[in-house]
Amino acid sequence: MGRYRAGMETRSRIIEATRDLLAEVGIDGTTIKAICQRAGILPGSFYNLFTSKEEALVTVVRQAIAAVDPDKDGEGTDTIDDLVEAWVEFVEGQPELARIYLQIAVTGNGSDRHLAGRLLRHHHYRIERFADAIARGDASLSEAEAHERAQHLIATLNGFLVTKLLEPGFDLASRARAQVTAGAPTPR
């Protein structure tokens, strides 16, 4: 039991060090060496818990996303409005982490199969959460239609994130909220 607790404490120190470094020096300054120094551990301890810096970064981002989850217990009570509001809260409240997540998803997962799989599973999970909320909000939709709308909405939100990163003045919140009321095309 003591080894498990020590491992969890080390993992927590790594995550805290990663979060702090990201806030202070950004993704480029957040190196494994810097993480280990900040956490007060040796690199071997880092690699016992994480396969790469990117995996530690994704863990920090996932925790930030979970912190704004409107249905933390997975009871299926969230609406599509709730999910979009949580997404807006994450992106606007933690723009550096949103940028890092997008950067890793786009460029940093090709060489790490474990990380790529983790990102893909998270993406599919988001689509399912959005599809379930869409279906609960409109019982006339088939499962396939709700899934298609969820894919369109998430693709649009991700596009808005890119736009926000390129144009800091872009009104992401209003545009995201408008997409909920606009809906997405229903496949025919």
The rounded distance, in Å, linking the Cα atoms of 126 and 157 is 12
Does residue 130 or residue 122 have the better pLDDT?
130
CATH code given to domain 55-182: 1.10.357
Q: What ranges do the domains of the chain cover? A: 1-50, 55-182
Give the model's pLDDT for residue 186. Answer: 47
Predicted structure pTM score: 0.81
pLDDT at 148 over 60: yes
Please tell me the class of the 1-50 domain: mainly alpha
Scanning the chain, the segments in alpha helix (DSSP H) are 2-29, 32-39, 43-49, 53-67, 80-93, 95-107, 113-137, 143-166, 172-182
Q: Which regions of the chain does DSSP assign to beta strands (E)?
A: none
Of the candidates 35, 97, 96, the one whose C-alpha atom is nearest the C-alpha of residue 65 is 97
The rounded distance, in Å, linking the Cα atoms of 125 and 165 is 24
